Copies of this chain bind each other. A is one copy, B any other.
């Protein structure tokens, strides 16, 4: 796009909500724990066995997830069993489904070995679903039509011809 050099991103990491998300969950174990959680895994030992994550790390990560409101720590009791703990996703946690599925599609496209195992489908008409950018009326938009906007201005800015004169 821009053929002049961009030296800084227009949104400082510290007030970027994407960067903030990454601070919270941008860590291999976090992400893998959340992946399992999306599929319905809820118990300490089940996460541990599925991922083979060190128990101390799992313990720390679950605490952080609860702490940030992505999971909840809850006692439950199956009939005739003693009380146990489960870690279900909250609504906040569940809404990670969309970014995760977008990421899955990326993985399907670029990292797949064989056919993907997982997909989404419409209960209404059985069609396969995919992630897309849509406008306010819900109409999909072509990639070439997508513009970045930062604080209501288009990014990157048009190269002003001066750019060449007033160096750096």
A residues neighboring B (CB under 8 Å): 1-2, 5-11, 13, 15-24, 26-28, 31-32, 35-36, 38-43, 46, 49-51, 69, 78, 92, 95-96, 98-114, 116-125, 127-141, 144-151, 154-156
Contact = CB atoms under 8 A, between A and B. Distances in A.
A121 B107 contact: no
B35 A103 contact: no
B35 A13 contact: yes
B106 A98 contact: yes
B119 A127 contact: no
A131 to B, nearest CB: 6
Given A117-B151, A120-B146, A135-B122, A7 B46 contact: yes
Contacts of A112: 17
A145 B129 CA distance: 10
Contacts of A113: 15
Given A21-B107, A149-B118, A132 B138 contact: yes
B129 A130 contact: no
B18 A22 contact: no
A18 B106 CA distance: 8
Given A10-B118, A16-B117, 16 more contacts: A8-B50, A11-B39, A15-B117, A18-B104, A21-B106, A26-B28, A26-B32, A40-B156, A99-B99, A99-B103, A122-B135, A123-B144, A123-B146, A130-B134, A132-B134, A138-B140
